[in-house]
Structure 1
Amino acid sequence: MGEDTTNHRKHIAIVGGGLVGSLNACFMAKRGYKVSLYELRKDMRKEEHVKGRSINLALSERGLSTLDAVGLRERVIPYGIPMYARMIHNKDGTKKRIPYGKSHQFIMSVDRRKLNELLLSESEAHSNVELHFQHKLKKCSFTEKPKTVFEKPNGELVEETFDVVFGNDGAYSAVRSQLMKTTRFDFQQSFIPHGYMELSILPNSKGDFAMEANCLHIWPREEFMMIALPNLDKSFTTTLFMPFDIFESIHNKEDLIDFFEKTFPDSIPLIGKQELIATFLSRKALPLVSVKCKPYNKDGKAVIMGDAAHAMVPFYGQGMNAGFEDCLVLEQFLNEYNDDFDEALDKYSQYRHVDAVSICDLAMYNYIEMRSLVNSKFFLMRKALDNLLNRIFPNTWIPLYTTVSFSQLRYHKCIENKKWQDQLLNTILKTIGAMSVVGLGYLVWTQRTNLIVLLQEQGFM
């Protein structure tokens, strides 16, 4: 690889070899830094089974654009399956397809492990990157030359000094824990009362997908839900999200089958009754955590990114995308300040925090939408109206989901955009009263010139 050698004098430590850490190593390597990446786990590329989260990932435009910046977009595309819509599974067995956006817009279902392995290999392909597995961060000081202490499995301690330490080590970040000891640090960690358990829907008897392949399948049930994302091997990774007290109320196979027959009856033949019993009764529901904190940096010596800075519940499919986008945003600040980490990290932390908080809040909101609102007639009417207005005013009226998943508009701007849309819709609905989407659409179309004037007068355009 043809790295720029002008920055080799700077030695960067990246703690965490997950998705964000391994991608960040590619960014730092291309800038010419010497990069040492440390991962607590074994090298997953050499392991038959990998412990840890395996919830499938939804890769959208923010993540793809970041991958594009290091030349990896086209390398990743073959690892994913496009999902153009939500497929809603009702209790009575009927299904309803709700497109995410326009006909060409999709999010991609990507296997976490395969993507992580690709990113590790891509980072290692750079001559100025070294990977160190089974290294646990024990201590880190952020003096003029940050010093780290890592522990190997045999108990041996490894000390090293760096110019900058990156904490890309997840929601329970060791780097963040060290930062909290050295600066005035705001920190909020929240566990929601819902947990998750992963199941599986295997290919059918013909070796094909058992359901529609290019959809994210959802079984919304008000207080809980189940989702399924397609895999390249024609299976679906199926995840059940519900309150821990419901998980804990299921003690045996009779309880389990009774629960599924009442709530997800059409899923039983898809999962398989015996497979469902064997999987569910052998696992425990895992927790879901949200983390908000600031600042993300300690002078120009350390910075946390990805889940270490803003872990979120998985319901907007933006955790990985936001973490990837962190890399791109920091890249832009390093360009702007000519690799001056003191300036770049400080500006990055201030700039990124408002967006990270926004997407954490949106992720929680989307859980309510996915498990409950998708069955609401008002929600479906609003969705249809959003799409209609987007067709009539494509540059002005952009639905929330579109701005989050199919654009790179800053997350907090996505929320601001939705607020004025809600305000205007409320005004229109109060004026015209109850009306069908078709009737409202006709009114909007015939009055589109007047609506543009109204939008301008109200400061919306």
Structure 2
Amino acid sequence: MTSNPPKAIVVGAGPAGCLSAISLANLGWDVTIFERRRDLREPALQNAANGFSETFRQRSINLTLSARGFAAIWAIDSSIVEPLLKQAVPLQGRISLYCIGRDPLSAILVDKAASKDNVDVHFLHKVETIDFDKNTLHVENTVSGEKLDVKFDLCIGADGSHSVIRRHLLAATRMEYSQQYLSHEYIQIKIPYGLDPAGNPVSLLPANYLHVWPRGDSTLVAMANKDKSFNTAIFAPRSVFSGMESPEDLLPWFQSDFPDFMSVLGKEKLLAELRRNPRSQLIITKANPYHKGAAVILGDAAHSMVPFDGQGLNSSLEDVRILSILLRRAQQASAGPSHFGHNAAAVSRVLEQFSENRHDDVTAMSDLSMNSHYNLRRGFATFGYVIKKYIDKILYAGSAKGAGKLTLSDLKENIYGPPPSGWMPLYNMVSFRADISYATAKKKAASQDRLMDRAGMAIGLLAVGYALRVLFL
């Protein structure tokens, strides 16, 4: 490590921000994390029953970690994987898919980042503005009111859908930016664990499964916690929630559309959850480019998407893996005696590469997530969808599934592998193949859909021809 390491600032101590800090520290940067919220690890914010504050859980659907997220974490620091798996719940029937609460995941990553000698974490510090020309961040300590001007050689904005860094990038660049609030909103509802005759906790729903209740315009999703409780979220049009003046007004609707869920939770517990938990919005943001000078945004700050493919977290962690590869390549190519991070032009070129590399992929994933939003509500219940997925599965079973697949070690140095050969369902490419880009997966799936549609049309014409032959010959 150089005696004069470059200075990196990470805004946001969520999963993407903390993994970014760990990555930069491993590459020899001095890193400071600024987070506007309190440290969720504080004893005052923890709950003895589940280890984490209920106030933090109210607006957070449980997260799913697929092969992409695990590949990113493993590539940055493989020692994180074991403690993470201890907090995660494997979902049966879904290879390499795990459910984990945002708080446990964030705590593991904050702990790891804070354990690094070259990482400092400051909570209750709010970023006010950023000067892209002077590479200076203006920060306020929200407890003392102290104002700080902090210089950086690299600034990563991992500060979420309402990113301060993105807002300033938007004003300072010719950024193409869109923000869309869906007509659907959600409310999180917790199903507590039950007790068996011996007093041991038991799940009130079958454990280790993703539970989905599709009901046309509304959907209820339940995901398991380690303590045998479930975090559920009810997604419905804004008009459904807005038309109810009180939580009691929602009970007939729940009884009509989700009677089995009502029977598990019970009226009084459901009312308590509806009174306690706020309605939350679903937002899609798209931006291009992601950088200016030595500052870049990633994760939800760059590309928030709807959660119906479970790729919001995974795409954010993959951002970190890809940026880490680009930074490492530039560092290895640097011929000077000092760390390449001191070269502002070199840093800017890496961030430009990141913007160009990442935009099409995450835009593709955002579009795919919206398609899944529709399928989750309606498509899953249609005969045509079921038949199509059955044929998809048959064709996949006869393909060379492992051809060209990169290993975890490969993904430490390579962004993606070659385009996959053979037939492969979209879900498998997105969730279980970290070596396939989202854009490649979308393109291949569209091509396979066209082939399937043509085959279906041909079979239909043959059937009609045969029927006419039987009738008239």
TM-score, normalization by structure 1: 0.86
For 1:258 and 1:284, locate their aligned partners in 2 and report how far apart those are by CA, in whole Å. Answer: 19
Pair 1:117–1:416, CA change in 2 (3 A): same
The partner residue of 1:55 within 61, 64, 67 is 61
1:451 maps to none
1:76 maps to 2:84: yes
1:18 maps to 2:7: no
Pair 1:253–1:16, CA change in 2 (3 A): closer
Pair 1:342–1:7, CA change in 2 (3 A): farther
The partner residue of 2:355 within 331, 349, 354 is 349
Deviation at residue 43 of structure 1 after TM alignment: 0.9
Per-residue displacement from partner, 1:134-177 (whole Å, max 9, x unpaired)?
A: 1100111012x401111112322111111111101000001111
1:307 maps to 300
Query: Matched residue of 1:315: which SS?
Result: helix
1:289 maps to 283
1:40 maps to 2:67: no
Letter in 2 for 1:403: M
Deviation at residue 198 of structure 1 after TM alignment: 0.4
5 Å matches for 1:117-136? 117-136=107-126
Contact 1:54–1:112, Cα closer than 8 Å, also in 2: yes
For 1:200 and 1:118, locate their aligned partners in 2 and report how far apart those are by CA, in whole Å. Answer: 23
For 2:4 and 2:394, locate their aligned partners in 1 and report how far apart those are by CA, in whole Å. Answer: 53
Query: Matched residue of 1:394: which SS?
Result: coil
1:226 maps to 220
Per-residue displacement from partner, 1:292-344 (whole Å, max 9, x unpaired)?
A: 00110113x10000000001111111011000000011111112222531221
Letter in 2 for 1:164: L
1:65 maps to 2:71: yes
Deviation at residue 180 of structure 1 after TM alignment: 1.6
5 Å matches for 1:103-252? 105-143=95-133, 145-153=134-142, 154-206=144-196, 207-252=201-246
Deviation at residue 181 of structure 1 after TM alignment: 1.9
Letter in 1 for 2:82: E
Query: Matched residue of 2:17: which SS?
Result: helix
Query: Matched residue of 2:194: which SS?
Result: coil
Query: Matched residue of 1:215: which SS?
Result: coil
2:397 maps to 391
Unaligned segments of structure 1, at least 5 residues: 86-99, 437-461
Pair 1:354–1:283, CA change in 2 (3 A): same
For 2:65 and 2:6, locate their aligned partners in 1 and report how far apart those are by CA, in whole Å. Answer: 32
Per-residue displacement from partner, 1:237-271 (whole Å, max 9, x unpaired)?
A: 01000111101222345532211111000001211
Query: Matched residue of 2:395: which SS?
Result: helix
Pair 1:252–1:427, CA change in 2 (3 A): same
The partner residue of 2:26 within 1, 21, 30 is 30
For 1:288 and 1:254, locate their aligned partners in 2 and report how far apart those are by CA, in whole Å. Answer: 24
Contact 1:8–1:34, Cα closer than 8 Å, also in 2: no
Letter in 1 for 2:99: S
Contact 2:248–2:271, Cα closer than 8 Å, also in 1: no
Deviation at residue 379 of structure 1 after TM alignment: 1.0
For 2:328 and 2:291, locate their aligned partners in 1 and report how far apart those are by CA, in whole Å. Answer: 18
The partner residue of 1:403 within 413, 429, 435 is 429
Per-residue displacement from partner, 1:6-65 (whole Å, max 9, x unpaired)?
A: 385210000001111011111000001000000000111102224363210000000000
Contact 2:27–2:328, Cα closer than 8 Å, also in 1: no
Contact 2:59–2:280, Cα closer than 8 Å, also in 1: no
For 1:45 and 1:248, locate their aligned partners in 2 and report how far apart those are by CA, in whole Å. Answer: 35
1:427 maps to 454
Contact 2:187–2:280, Cα closer than 8 Å, also in 1: yes
The partner residue of 1:367 within 370, 373, 377 is 373
Deviation at residue 363 of structure 1 after TM alignment: 1.2
Per-residue displacement from partner, 1:203-246 (whole Å, max 9, x unpaired)?
A: 23322111221211001011110000001100110100011110
1:376 maps to 382
For 2:311 and 2:291, locate their aligned partners in 1 and report how far apart those are by CA, in whole Å. Answer: 22
Unaligned segments of structure 2, at least 5 residues: 47-52, 332-339, 341-345, 402-421, 464-473
Letter in 2 for 1:419: A
1:88 maps to none
Pair 1:128–1:253, CA change in 2 (3 A): closer
Deviation at residue 390 of structure 1 after TM alignment: 0.6
Deviation at residue 106 of structure 1 after TM alignment: 3.9
Pair 1:175–1:433, CA change in 2 (3 A): same
RMSD (CA atoms):
1.7
Pair 1:208–1:318, CA change in 2 (3 A): same
For 1:424 and 1:84, locate their aligned partners in 2 and report how far apart those are by CA, in whole Å. Answer: 31
Per-residue displacement from partner, 1:336-366 (whole Å, max 9, x unpaired)?
A: 2225312211111001000111111111111
Pair 1:269–1:205, CA change in 2 (3 A): farther
For 2:462 and 2:148, locate their aligned partners in 1 and report how far apart those are by CA, in whole Å. Answer: 69
Letter in 2 for 1:319: G
Pair 1:253–1:124, CA change in 2 (3 A): closer
For 1:276 and 1:23, locate their aligned partners in 2 and report how far apart those are by CA, in whole Å. Answer: 36
Pair 1:254–1:142, CA change in 2 (3 A): closer
Identity %: 32
Structure 1 stretch 37-46 or stretch 422-431: which is displaced more? 422-431
For 1:53 and 1:253, locate their aligned partners in 2 and report how far apart those are by CA, in whole Å. Answer: 17
Query: Matched residue of 1:433: which SS?
Result: helix
